[in-house]
Amino acid sequence: AQSVTQLGSHVSVSEGALVLLRCNYSSSVPPYLFWYVQYPNQGLQLLLKYTSAATLVKGINGFEAEFKKSETSFHLTKPSAHMSDAAEYFCAVSNAGGTSYGKLTFGQGTILTVHP
């Protein structure tokens, strides 16, 4: 069984400040890890993914995440927040290969608020 824990249901930052959204996972097999963003009343958009290549993954809109196996973590960061980053962010885990990428286990989500 797999699970994801996102620490902090709400994170608030000032525009230009560092964004750090925390994600810890549990998996009995080597995981594939994903960060998705959801704007109000919309579907999910993939920000970035870890699929067992480089442990530091760069995504869209200046976001990146680092896979740390020893800490079972996959935290999302962005050096400088922009007002348009305000949204809900979800960390997700899946098994590798074949059709597994569609069988995602999600965390509860973190709502990011950006203050001017």
Partner 1 sequence: ETGVTQSPTHLIKTRGQQVTLRCSSQSGHNTVSWYQQALGQGPQFIFQYYREEENGRGNFPPRFSGLQFPNYSSELNVNALELDDSALYLCASSSPGGTEAFFGQGTRLTVV
| Binding residue for partner 1, selected from 28, 29, 41, 83, defined by CB under 8 A | 41
* 59 lines the binding site for partner 1 (CB under 8 A): no
- Report the residue number, 1 or 56, with the smaller CB distance to partner 1: 1
| Structure token digits, residue 1 | 């069984």
Min separation Cβ 68 and partner 1, Å: 20
Contact 23, 73 (CB under 8 A): yes
Q: Which is nearest to 27 in space by CA: 98, 100, 111, 110?
A: 100
Helix (H) or strand (E) holding 3: strand 3-7
The residues of the shown chain that bind partner 1, judged by CB under 8 A, are 4, 32, 34, 36, 41-46, 49, 51, 90, 92, 98-99, 101-109
